[in-house]
Structure 1
């Protein structure tokens, strides 16, 4: 059995779920975690952030429910309004980090979200992944090269197909997958305790 975490690095609710995901991973260190990028802002949705008038209200609700922080760097991007969220580039970044440190993908996906939602860094900028890699003690040159390479592009496209195959239409979604059996654990928001209650019938008990 493994956990499958379907998220989008530019999704505020996914950012808000980071605390829960971190706690779930901590409680279940032997459960593998597959991280899949969902592709929220692609095609016609790749427009200036000012087009999404609901963002500030949604962020306030996310903070209220989850305690997630939206930093000054990010707030400046929203206020200026011209920034374009490109989920394809973000998925390439997650793929590059996953390729470099496959056993740390969940941690690094959350670090990418921190780079955007706290520091206001673009997830289309190779320098962002250099910074994430350096902070995580990874080979930053290797991560940047992977981000700019064809393999990351192919991996991003594969992630979008995987999202469709799992019938995931909202982010974040956390699933337990055991062979052909898929059990939803969280959609949008859940606490670690709620996730554990949904894992318990599957025989998965936290280690804490």
Structure 2
């Protein structure tokens, strides 16, 4: 059995779910976590953030509901509205970090979101992944090279296809997968207790009359 976490690094609700994900992973070290990037801001949606007028209001709601931090550096980054959120670049970065430490994929996904939403770093910038890698004790040169490689682009496209194949329509989505069985533990916002209850229900022995 494993968990599959489908998120987008530029999704504020995914950032809001970070604490729940981290706590769940700490509580269940026996459950591997597959991290899959979604393509929220790709194609025609890869435009200046000013085109998404709901962002500031949504962030306030996320912070109030989940306690997630939106740092001053992030606010400065997006202040003039010209910043472009590029989910393909973010997915390449997540793939590069995931390749360096697959067993720490959930932790690294959280770190990538913190780099943007707290530290105000662009997820299209190689230096961002170098910094995340260094903070995580990984080979920063190798992660930076992987981010810029054709393989990272292929991995990003594979993630987008996998997310679609799983039927994910919104981020974040956390799934429990056991063989050919799967259940959603969270869609959007969820507390650790809510996720735990759903996980317990999924793993409970089936009862037959």
Q: Same fold (TM over 0.5)?
A: yes
Which position in structure 2 is the counterpart of 1:17?
Answer: 17
TM-fit CA distance, 1:181 = 1.1
Q: Give the Cα separation in 2 of the matches to 1:201 and 1:107.
A: 25
User: How do 1:192-207 and structure 2 match up within 5 A?
Assistant: 192-203=192-203
TM-fit CA distance, 1:179 = 1.3
TM-fit CA distance, 1:27 = 1.0
Regions of 4+ moved over 3 Å:
none
Which position in structure 1 is the counterpart of 2:73?
Answer: 73
Which position in structure 2 is the counterpart of 1:187?
Answer: 187
Which position in structure 2 is the counterpart of 1:148?
Answer: 148
Which position in structure 2 is the counterpart of 1:35?
Answer: 35
Normalising by structure 2, what TM-score?
A: 0.96
Normalising by structure 1, what TM-score?
A: 0.96
TM-fit CA distance, 1:202 = 2.8
Which position in structure 2 is the counterpart of 1:93?
Answer: 93
The answer as to whether partners of 2:170 and 2:187 remain within 8 angstroms in 1 is yes
Which position in structure 2 is the counterpart of 1:63?
Answer: 63
Query: SS of the counterpart of 1:121?
Result: coil
Which position in structure 2 is the counterpart of 1:109?
Answer: 109
After superposition, the C-alpha distances for 1:118-148 in whole angstroms (9 at most, x for unaligned) are 0110000000000000000100000000001
Counting matched residue pairs gives: 204
TM-fit CA distance, 1:78 = 2.1
Query: SS of the counterpart of 1:113?
Result: helix
Q: Give the Cα separation in 1 of the matches to 2:152 and 2:41.
A: 17
The answer as to whether partners of 2:183 and 2:202 remain within 8 angstroms in 1 is no
Q: Give the Cα separation in 1 of the matches to 2:203 and 2:85.
A: 40
Which position in structure 1 is the counterpart of 2:136?
Answer: 136
TM-fit CA distance, 1:96 = 0.2
Which position in structure 1 is the counterpart of 2:207?
Answer: none
Q: Give the Cα separation in 1 of the matches to 2:170 and 2:56.
A: 19
Which position in structure 1 is the counterpart of 2:47?
Answer: 47
TM-fit CA distance, 1:203 = 2.9
The answer as to whether partners of 2:39 and 2:160 remain within 8 angstroms in 1 is yes
After superposition, the C-alpha distances for 1:46-72 in whole angstroms (9 at most, x for unaligned) are 000111111111000000110000001
